[in-house]
Amino acid sequence: MRYLTTLFLFCLLAASAYADQAAYTVRSTEIKQQPYSDAPTVATLSEKTSVNILSREGGWMKISSGQGNGWVKMLSLRSNSKATKSGDSGLQSLLNAGRADSRGVTVATGVRGLSEEDLKNARANPRELEKLQRYAVDKSQAEKFARGAKLKTQQMDYLPPSGNS
Amino acid sequence: MLNRAMLFFCLTLTLSCPAYALDFDFTKALDVVKKVQQAAKPLEEPREIELGNGIAANLLGAAPLFNDNDVQQYVNKVGRWLSLQTERPDLPWKFGILESSDVNAFATPGGTIFITRGLLQKLNNESELAGVLAHEIVHVLRKHHLAALQKEARMDLASDLLGEAIKDKNNPALEKAIKAGTEVYARGLDKNDEFEADRMGIVIATRAGYDPYGLPAVLQMLDASNAQDSSLALMFKTHPAPRDRLGLLDKTMDHRFDAYSAPTQTDERFNSEVARQK
């Protein structure tokens, strides 16, 4: 039941994260039927075409546009910032309202503790540091955690700066 | 190499001097060489960890830990798993969620990583969390904060810090370094260090089995955010624009990362641990 509730909440949030997020293409880009490169092409969008982002899967964004709907490479898109107001969705406010007793949600701007000034004047809190140390996990716990979700390691070298490649 | 050349130069110089000047010149030359060595020598790992813990205690003074053991442990497991895919798997890595609605993340020398509750709540899955933590892990691996500290600190602080004096726990030089080290978080790092953290962070997340596009997705979310939102003010001030970071990742990633995706079990886990916090 808890799983269903959280799944429902997650779907709502996932939807709110992207629903009608306006973006535009930074290059000529193909719309694919499925989120992979060799899927059939629905249409080709020219540079600076407006689209709406619906959801994400890996490096692909599900979009709707005047020229068709389907999947576009995430990094071919940039948000149309002016049209969005992320972090201010009705749902987020609703959920935050349930946390009225927590610090930082209901307090006014500038007293949440991590402003430039706050950092310059910060005084050490050794008790919280001890608590932090207690949360730490060891290698075997981390490996067990990875196995638990079937995470598999991949071989990959670091990449050079894009200017040198 | 330079030090050896200098020592050789000084020795040659002193040896070629008349005998009466030898004692004085030799001592002075050795002193200079020692100073150069100290300034160029990297901070020993135990000192790096000590400095980082001091800075972490200060950050915790600004914002305490989010009060939920389960989510704190969950973030630690994701982070520790990522750290095992790096060249410094044996550091005392620890991860914490700060109780703050600000959207930000921090790394301190020696392996302490913080993410704010505000940022955690904006994430959609474990791969995005991994992307953020991996970016911070790179700051530790590459000692970006130490570089910023050493670049900006006066020479006396740098040489005190790196010298013998710091071995004494109560040395005022350590206090001074911790205070200066905390102020680095208000100013930010070199922007090329941020780009490097993005570039290496996506590789670490991929090695750990996560979707490589977790970090780019977070950057897209930030790019789409209202720049006037005060909870983003410090993060925006101390980092290059998300759009510039996306532009560089776009070139770096190209088609190299297309074949990877995270197992769906990570989504289920993220949902049960984090979505209930939203």
- Residue B12 is predicted with a pLDDT of 47
Span B162-211, pLDDT tens digits: 555 455 566 777 888 888 899 999 999 999 999 999 999 999 999 999 99
Considering chain B, what is the average pLDDT of its residues? 85
Q: Stretch B91-103: mean pLDDT, rounded?
A: 97
Question: Mean pLDDT for chain A?
Answer: 78
A120 within domain boundaries: no
Closest Cα in chain A, distance from residue B240 (Å): 16
CATH number at residue A39: 2.30.30.40
Among B24-38, B131-145, B180-194, top mean pLDDT goes to B131-145
The number of distinct structural domains making up chain A is 1
Q: Residues 10 to 69 of A: which have CB under 8 A from any B CB?
A: 10, 13-14, 17, 21, 23, 26, 36-37, 56-59
pLDDT at A102 over 50: no
Rounded to a whole number of angstroms, the distance from the CA of B213 to the nearest CA of chain A is 5
Helix, strand or coil, per DSSP, at residue A86 = strand
CA distances for B275 relative to A6, A12, A87, A89, A95, angstroms: 6, 10, 15, 16, 11
What chain B residue is nearest to A77 in terms of C-alpha separation? B220
Contacts of B31 (CB under 8 A, 6+ apart): none
> pLDDT tens digits, residue range A47-69?
999 999 999 999 999 999 999 99
Q: Would you state the pLDDT for residue B167?
A: 57
Residues in chain B with CB shorter than 8 Å from the CB of A158 are: 199-200, 203
Domain presence at residue A110: no
Q: Which domain holds residue A54?
A: 19-83
Q: With 50 as the cut, is the pLDDT of residue A87 above it?
A: no
Share of chain B above pLDDT 90, in %: 62
Stated pTM of the model: 0.81
Q: Which residues of A touch B133 (CB under 8 A)?
A: none
Q: Within a domain: residue A39? A: yes
The vertex-B81 CA angle with B95 and B202, nearest 5°, equals: 90
User: Does residue A37 form part of some domain?
Assistant: yes
Reply yes or no on whether the pLDDT at B227 is more than 50.
yes
Residue B226 has what pLDDT? 86
Residue of chain B minimizing CA distance to A105: B101
Q: Is A149 on the interface with B (CB under 8 A)?
A: yes
| Higher local confidence (pLDDT), B177 or B124 | B124
CA B66, B134, A152: angle at the middle one, nearest 5? 110
pLDDT number for residue B255: 85
Indicate whether A146 belongs to any domain: no
Query: Could you tell me if residue A100 is inside a domain?
Result: no
Domain boundaries, chain B: 1-41, 45-146+184-277
Q: What is the pLDDT of residues A123-138, one digit of tens each?
A: 999 999 999 999 999 9
- pLDDT at residue A85 in the model: 42
State the smallest CA–CA distance between residue A47 and chain B in angstroms: 15
ipTM: 0.81
Contact list in B for residue A131 (CB cut-off 8 A) is 65
Subunit contact B69:A132, Cβ cutoff 8 A? no
With contacts defined as CB-CB under 8 Å, which chain B residues touch A136?
Answer: 76, 80, 92-95
Return the pLDDT at B159: 56
